[in-house]
Amino acid sequence: MGEVITIAEKKTFIKWFIEKYDLQNREAEWLLQYIASSDQMLERVHFIDNFRNLPKTILISTKCVQMTPFKFYKNKRVTSDVEKAFLDIHNNRSEEIYIGLFFKDRTTSPEYASVLEQNPLDDAKETIDALVSLQAEMVLDFAIKSYRVGNLKEQIDAALDRGDKNAFVELSNKLREESELGT
């Protein structure tokens, strides 16, 4: 996710999906084929998992899952009528279309993962990702510092065992500097 997904990749995915799965609503298959036939529409199509707060969303389920067969959301209005969705898509070609697919093994499907995008309105996920990244960086910094301090202490012990006063003083100064960096 985060990369630009090409029209060809979306077209290939839709073809694969239709060949591999039986949709609960046959008209939904026809709608996907219609979308796949237009590069202009495919430019505006985004496959997503989180469809909250999006202006125009299509949800489609296959026979292998127990979900609603078809839902079309536009500006907080909902319909299960594929024809209404088709007319809206056909008449509003410049609008973004977000598609959520529900099928067996969707969470482990590399084909689906290759076209999956993040909800652009999902700021909370971006914030969480940034916090997790920051926390991971802090843990890594702590581990590196702990390793350095431990290594310096071992070298100091070795210098003491050898009776090397110069090495002891030099390493003790390095340990002091390393300890001061974290405070």
Closest listed residue to residue 23, CA positions, set 48, 66, 55, 60 = 60
111: left (phi over 0), alpha (psi -120 to 50) or beta: alpha
Banded model confidence at residue 82, pLDDT cuts 50, 70, 90: very high
Banded model confidence at residue 49, pLDDT cuts 50, 70, 90: confident
pLDDT at 183: 47
Which residues, in sequence order, are CB contacts of 145 under 8 Å at separation 6+?
A: 178, 181, 182
pLDDT tens profile 103-150: 998 889 999 999 999 776 665 556 566 667 767 877 887 888 889 899
- Average pLDDT, integer, range 16-39: 95
Measured distance CA(173)–CA(100) in Å, rounded: 60
CATH number of 127-181: 4.10.810
Domain boundaries, the chain: 7-120, 127-181
The pTM of the full predicted model, rounded to 2 decimals, is: 0.64
Measured distance CA(47)–CA(1) in Å, rounded: 10
Closest listed residue to residue 34, CA positions, set 77, 76, 93 = 93
Distance separating the N- and C-terminal Cα atoms of the chain: 38
pLDDT at 137: 78
CATH number of 7-120: 3.40.1530.30
Please determine, for residue 181, whether its predicted confidence score (pLDDT) is greater than 80: no
Residue % of the chain over a pLDDT of 70: 90
